[in-house]
Amino acid sequence: MPETKNSLNILIIGGVTFVVLIIISFLIFNYYFSIYEVTFGKVPGKVKIGDSVTISLTPINGAGTIVPFRTSPFEIKFIEGESIIKVVDDKSAEGEFVFKTTSPGITKLLVTPKHALKPTIFEIIVEIQ
């Protein structure tokens, strides 16, 4: 009888430990590795001719911190002023887009992140030096 009671206790402790580990793994995955929202880096509203502008996205998790090991891809479309900029580095699949201004005017960009509900429009005024 004592061996049966001992092995039953071991099974109960092992089962409870397994369930607790599953719950902890689920919570860690959903709060730390899932993207809840994305934030844009600071994009200037006015720049001079020849300046570089970087549009970058940062994925945020349920805990409000940067999501480790994940990127936030986005699509970018030019609404207006595509002719006054030159694309320097298009890593929009990794969450970053860099361009350089070439002439004065206004450029409007529509940025649609994969992990966001609504797109964002950036209007950048390019001024003469």
The total of structural domains in the chain comes to 2
Write the CATH number for 60: 2.60.40.1080
Both 23 and 41 in one domain: the answer is no
**Residues 10 and 52 reside in one and the same domain:** no
Q: Which domain holds residue 98?
A: 37-127
84 plus 111 within the same structural domain: yes
Q: State whether 58 and 93 are in the same domain.
A: yes
Q: Are residues 44 and 97 in the same domain?
A: yes
- Whether residue 18 is found in the same domain as residue 54: no
8 vs 101: CA distance, rounded Å? 73
- Do 116 and 85 sit in the same domain of this protein? yes
Q: What is the dihedral of CA 114, 119, 125, 126, to 10 degrees?
A: 20
Same domain, 48 and 7: no
Among 69, 73, 68, smallest CA distance to 56 is for 73
Predicted confidence at residue 3, as pLDDT, reads 64
81: which DSSP letter?
A: -
Q: Residue 125 in contact with residue 106, Cβ under 8 Å?
A: yes
Phi, psi of 15, rounded to the nearest 5 degrees: -65, -45
CA distance 43 to 9: 61
Instruction: List the Cα angle 85/91/92 in 5-degree steps.
Output: 85
- Span 95-116, pLDDT tens digits: 899 999 999 999 999 999 998 8
pLDDT digits (tens, 9 = 90+) for 53-88: 999 999 999 888 999 888 889 999 999 988 999 999
